[in-house]
Each structure stands twice: as structure tokens, then as C-alpha cells.
Amino acid sequence: MQENEVNGMGGEQFDWQALMGAQLSGMTPPKLDTAQLMAWQQQYLQAMLAGPKAAAQDRRFAHKAWQGGDLHAQMAAWYVLHNEHLNGLRQILAGSGHQGEQAAFMMEQWLAAMAPSNYLPFNPEALELAKQTNGASLQQGLANLLADLQQGRISQTDESVFEVGKNVATTPGDVVFENDFIQLIQYRPTTPKVHALPFLLVPPCINKYYILDLQPENSLVKYVVDQGHTVFLVSWRNPLPGEGMEHATWDDYLNEGPVDAINAVRAITGAEQINALGFCVGGTLLASALAALAAKKQRPVASLTLLTTLLDFTEPGILGVFVDEAQVAMREAQFANGGLMPARDLNSAFSALRPNDLVWNYVVGNYLKGERPPAFDLLYWNSDSTNLSGPMFAQYLRRLYIDNALAKGELHSLGVRLDLSSIDVPIYVYSSREDHIVPWGSAYASAQALQARDLRFVLGASGHIAGVINPASKNKRNFWVGRAGKLPATADAWFDAATEKPGSWWPDWAAWLSKHGGGMKPAPKKAGSAKFPAIEPAPGRYVKVRAI
């Protein structure tokens, strides 16, 4: 499995018709740079006249069955040639404004779909396997296809191997609070003493929380517990039809999510302030909640950590291809009377960001070759997404993506105007250099929108997930840190002055967090309190509900 295959978020069965229909609606032709286009045309023509080279450098055609001079090898070589140069056109389109980005996105889907490896008559590797197995591979592939059609998504891993609470999400703890939106987990201490200030994690509501607690060796939750913190975590509910969340709003998610969690943690521990972390959309919600509380003269947080979080949506990255006036208006009409945004639709969009890795790779393996995908905990989590309230989703798209109201100070929530600069606490902002969900330049702009006096910006290697989940024990990759003081005006200026350090960013963050943890005190002997007794063991009920 290539690392970039797990930097996306999702992998459900792909609804090409719905996706392309949404993309084409209201789209106007992009305006292209004539000189760039003519130069590309000339290069393309020269490449066609020169003819293709071997296709082995493309891993889709690396098997020996694709080599040689037969028809299959020629098809693969010509495809690679066309694909390479049409990708040049795609880059020109992507640089020509929003319509160009949409056209480039659709071209990427088409190029990925047209690979000869995706079709049985043109895939010698699959044909050879069928011959060797006397058709058993095709029979198994058909069975795999029928099973995936029944479950409504492409299998990316052997899901039978994993069970939430058994071999993923296993850090010991207890649910100590719940409402219609969240369960709050308190994890059991592993050190005799803990920091005085408790610590709260707010993961994204679009995914299950256990990306932060996959296995003991790569669990951020366990790592923080082992650093001597009393750790609480929000487990978002996965709403199902008829359960009463079809009309929930952005404000409901704020109030019933981070605000209620903060209040519960303070009540359970007796601490006036806590430390808090938000990851991805969880960071957007957490920062919004803290700005709302600050407007009400409440400052319950002593420090804030944001991981790959968008607050300034001026440049929303590749997800912006899905968001324009026509598409947002469509969602607003769809959810005008309530409803749920299905996880499968969200996952289709995320799969489209890496169609070769997250769609066609499994079409070929599962169906043409009849293979069973290997067990992989990250891809198990990847397929276990959550539904969202439709009204909340539409409001999120309109006010944050389209209006950029949060960064502009024009967003009103919980009865007040949200001012990010009012979050006047030490802040640690982490971004990943190869993140296509939250581009690091946008994360940098989001950090600037906070206008914090004490802010540490750290840039890690790799992508949205693999960059964050980079355990200190493995000490892989590298990260960059800037000089103390005010952030430079641009992300490039920051990077030019930054210092590169080897290994995981976790120890850097742990050292920063410990400075804001307060003194040490004996670890709590049991979870919860008299008012908030333990409800059930972690991971709790909410995280075990799968989307339908």
C-alpha cells in the first residue's frame, strides 16, 4: 500500500453520475492562457510523432504481463503517453480559475477511468490469472462485486479482521457524559501523577474518532495519556434516519459538541480551565466554539492545538472543486426541510480526490483478479464514516466555504459574532506539507486569522492523515518549525526561515503542551464524578454505529 493511498478521507462506492452531474450543473467554460495552450499542443504533437515508451514506470502496468510487444503492452504504452500529456493540459486548466479546476478534476476522473488495466478484455494480468485458476478468480471477483453492491461501498480492506473496541480504539477509558450529538470518553491514567489541567480532543464529526486511537503503537490518545495528561475525547454520534437529527444546525453541533464537552470536562475535574485540541473539522468547530464563548466573556481553555484545520477558507484546496454557488444552492434546497447528508456521498467525493488509489485500484484487485484486500486498520477506519445533519452541512458550505465568514469575522453563532482574534491563549498549529484536504498554505492563513500573540506553527511531512499520525516511537519523516514571534506575512517566507528537524512532530508538541499543563497531582482513581458517573466502557455505543 502506497502512503498516498491513505492520505485521503473515505473510500465508499463511487457515484460517478451524481458527482459529474453536480459538477456540470451551471458550469461555464474556463478561460485558458492561449500561449500555454499552444505550447502544450506542440509538445503533445511531438510526443505523438515520437511514439510511446515502455509503460513499466506506471505501477498499474508494472507486472510482466504488460511488458513485451503485444497488443496489451502497446495499449498500456499509448495510454501512459496520452495520460502524461493530458495531465499537462489538466494543470493548465487547474490554473485558470474555479471553472478550470472543475474541468481539470473531471479530466482526472476520465483519465483514471480510461486506463486499460480497468477492463478485463484489456488486462493481460487478470486474463492470465483467470486462465491459471480455471476461471476461479473471475468467479471470486463476481462474488466480491455482489458483496460490495450489497454493502454499498468498495471494500478497501478485509473488514472482518477488525472490530471497534477489540483491536482498534482500544485505549482503556469510560464514557462519562453523553447527549444526542456526542459521547465524552475519559481515558484511564497510566502515570501515578497527572497534569493539573485536563486535556480534551475534538476530532472531526465527518469521521469516527478512532483515527486518533487505531493501535497502541500509533495512538495519539495513548501517547497523550502516557505523557501524564487526564485525557477526554469527543466521540461524535453517527445519526441514522428517524433519530431526530435531521434538523440539527451548525449552532447545534457547536453547542452540543465542543461547548458541552468543555463544560463536562470542567465539571468532572473541577478545573477552571482545560487544554484542548481540534483535528480538521473538529478544529473548525472547536475554534468557533471558543470564539463564541469569548464573546460571552468565558475563557475555559488555557491552550489550543489545531491539527490540519481550516479557519480561513480563501483557498480551500482540492475540496473547493465541489463547492460553488450552484452546488451549495442545490444542497440548501435539498435540506430545506431537513434530512441527513449520507456518509456514502461524502466518501464518494473524497474517493474522487485520488481515483487511481481509492477507486480503480480496488476495482481491478477485487473484481478483475478476485483478490481480497489485505487487512489494514487505517483503511478500515477510512470506510467507517458518519452521516451529518443536512442543514448543518449546507450552513457549513455556505457560511464558511462560500462566504468565508469565520475568517472575516462575519459569522454569528450561539447568539454572538465570532471573532477568532478573541481566542487569546497559547496556540499550537500543525499542518502537513503534502495535505490536499487542508493545504498547508491555507492552514498558515488560518493561523494568521487567529492573530494570537503566542502561536507556534509546525509543518510536518506527508499528508492529511499520515502526517498527523506519525508516532514518536517510530521517529519517521521530518518537520519544520519557525522562529518564535510574529508569523511572517507569507507561508513561503515562513518556510524559508524555518528549521527542519528529523522525526515525528509529536515530542515537539508534547513538550509545548506540558508547559501549559499546570503542576502535577495524583492521577484520578476512577472516571467521572458523582454528578457524571461512568456510563459504559470506551469506546462507547456511538462509535460502533455504522452508516447505512
Residues 6 or more apart whose CB falls under 8 angstroms from that of 27 comprise 99, 102, 103, 326
- CA 274, 255, 515 angle in degrees (round to 5)? 15
d(CA 446, CA 436): 15
Q: Identify the three-state secondary structure at position 411.
A: coil
How many angstroms separate the CA atoms of 203 and 465, rounded? 12
Helix axes 71-94, 98-113, angle to 10 degrees: 170
Instruction: Give the start-end residues of each E strand in 220-329.
Output: 231-236, 274-279, 301-307
Catalytic positions are 280
| Cβ neighbour number for residue 263 with a 10 Å cutoff | 14
The answer to whether residues 65 and 126 touch, using CB atoms and an 8 Å cutoff, is no
d(CA 454, CA 133): 64
How far from 55 is each of 88, 449, 490, CA to CA, in Å?
Answer: 18, 46, 40
C-alpha to C-alpha distances, 510 to 229, 274, 471, 472, 504, nearest whole angstrom: 10, 15, 12, 10, 11
Q: Around Cβ 479, how many Cβ atoms within 10 Å? A: 26
> How many Å apart are CA 322 and CA 36, to the nearest integer?
26
